[in-house]
């Protein structure tokens, strides 16, 4: 059965969100109509404003309002000589929340995936090369995800770094803190054995 075309459109449009199917979209639409029209209108405005105005930092490609972001503008971080390559802006947040990293970042917005037409250009690797060519970095940390694609991307960038005499390091992988050995998969255990360090 059909409600008003507008309600139908809302239910359809809500399904652009990841993880939201027809049922959830319907529940959200009815909830907003019944209980929170004001919040929904505010959300509409915020979505509009954000989508129109947020772009990427011209240096690190993380989200910014079009200007050089706060992290890239930080002189201390610029002078650290360390740049950390991640797949997504969410990874920047995750690392920032540790409070332990004082270098800069470079966000790929994905990983190399020739099948999907994602090559070096799509990941901004020309811009990264220009950054490395500037001679301000002594180390590049490759913090792409520990997946086949993440590894491939890390290796590709490591070659770029080697050609420019920048040391490339890869984040360690292994047993999560608080994890139990018996519940960890074999390949992770293997890698943590290979990457063991003296106590
Ligand atoms: Zn930036």
Q: Are strands 104-107 and 63-64 parallel, antiparallel or unpaired?
A: unpaired
Residue 159 lies in a domain: yes
The answer for residues whose C-beta is within 8 angstroms of residue 12's C-beta and 6 or more apart is: 25
Q: How far is the CA of 58 from the centre of ligand 1 (A)?
A: 7
Residue 191 lies in a domain: no
Q: How far is the CA of 118 from the centre of ligand 1 (A)?
A: 22
Residues 145 and 93 in one domain: yes
Range of the domain at 70: 59-170
Q: How far is the CA of 192 from the centre of ligand 1 (A)?
A: 33
DSSP tag of 36: -
- 141 DSSP β-pair partners: 84, 169
Q: How far apart are CA 93 and CA 74, in angstroms?
A: 16
Q: How far is the CA of 62 from the centre of ligand 1 (A)?
A: 6
Residues 111 and 84 in one domain: yes
Q: How far apart are CA 46 and CA 40, in angstroms?
A: 10
Q: How far is the CA of 152 from the centre of ligand 1 (A)?
A: 24
Q: How far is the CA of 71 from the centre of ligand 1 (A)?
A: 6
Residue 40 lies in a domain: yes
CATH code: domain of residue 11: 1.10.8.420
> What pLDDT, on the 0 to 100 scale, is given for residue 21?
97
A 10 A CB-CB count for 75 gives 7
Residue 155 lies in a domain: yes
Q: How far is the CA of 2 from the centre of ligand 1 (A)?
A: 47
Residues 31 and 126 in one domain: no
Q: How far is the CA of 84 from the centre of ligand 1 (A)?
A: 12
Q: How far is the CA of 51 from the centre of ligand 1 (A)?
A: 18
Spell out, as residue ranges, where the chain has pLDDT lower than 50.
none
Residues 46 and 99 in one domain: no
Between the two ends of the chain, the Cα-to-Cα distance in Å is: 67
The answer for residues whose C-beta is within 8 angstroms of residue 30's C-beta and 6 or more apart is: none
Residues 86 and 15 in one domain: no
Q: How far is the CA of 104 from the centre of ligand 1 (A)?
A: 8
What are residue 140's phi and psi, to 5 degrees? Answer: -120, 120
Residues 152 and 112 in one domain: yes
Residue 122 lies in a domain: yes
pLDDT per residue as tens digits for the range 27-60: 999 999 999 999 999 999 999 999 999 999 999 9
CATH code: domain of residue 89: 3.40.1360.10
Q: How far is the CA of 47 from the centre of ligand 1 (A)?
A: 22
Residues 27 and 100 in one domain: no
Question: How large is the greatest C-alpha to C-alpha distance in the chain, in angstroms?
Answer: 67
Q: How far apart are CA 117 and CA 149, in angstroms?
A: 13
Residue 178 lies in a domain: no
Strands (E) located in 126-186:
139-142, 167-170
Residues 68 and 150 in one domain: yes
Number of domains in the chain: 2
Residue 108 lies in a domain: yes
Residue 190 lies in a domain: no
Closest CA to 70 of 62, 107, 89: 62
> 57 and 64 in contact (C-beta within 8 Å)?
yes
> What pLDDT, on the 0 to 100 scale, is given for residue 1?
65
Q: How far is the CA of 63 from the centre of ligand 1 (A)?
A: 8
Residues 120 and 100 in one domain: yes
| Beta-carbon neighbours within 5 Å of ion ligand 1 | 57, 59-60, 69, 72
Residues 64 and 49 in one domain: no
Let me know how long the chain is.
Answer: 199
């Amino acid at each position: 059965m059909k409600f008003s075309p507008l309600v139908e459109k809302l239910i359809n449009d809500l399904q652009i969100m990841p993880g939201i199917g027809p049922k959830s979209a319907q529940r959200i639409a009815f909830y907003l109509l019944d209980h929170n029209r004001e919040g929904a209108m505010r959300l509409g405005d915020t979505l509009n404003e954000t989508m129109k105005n947020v772009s990427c930092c011209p240096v690190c490609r993380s989200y910014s309002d079009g200007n050089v972001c706060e992290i890239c503008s930080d002189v201390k971080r610029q002078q650290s000589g360390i740049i950390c390559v991640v797949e997504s802006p969410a990874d920047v947040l995750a690392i920032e929340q540790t409070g332990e990293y004082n270098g800069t970042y470079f966000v790929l917005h994905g990983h190399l995936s020739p099948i999907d037409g994602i090559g070096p250009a799509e990941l901004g690797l020309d811009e990264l090369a220009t950054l490395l060519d500037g001679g301000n970095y002594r180390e590049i940390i490759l913090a792409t995800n520990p997946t086949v694609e993440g590894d491939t991307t890390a290796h590709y960038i490591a070659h770029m770094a080697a050609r420019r005499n920048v040391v490339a390091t890869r984040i360690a992988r292994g047993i999560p803190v608080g994890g139990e050995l018996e519940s960890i998969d074999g390949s992770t255990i293997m890698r943590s054995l290979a990457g063991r360090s003296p106590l």
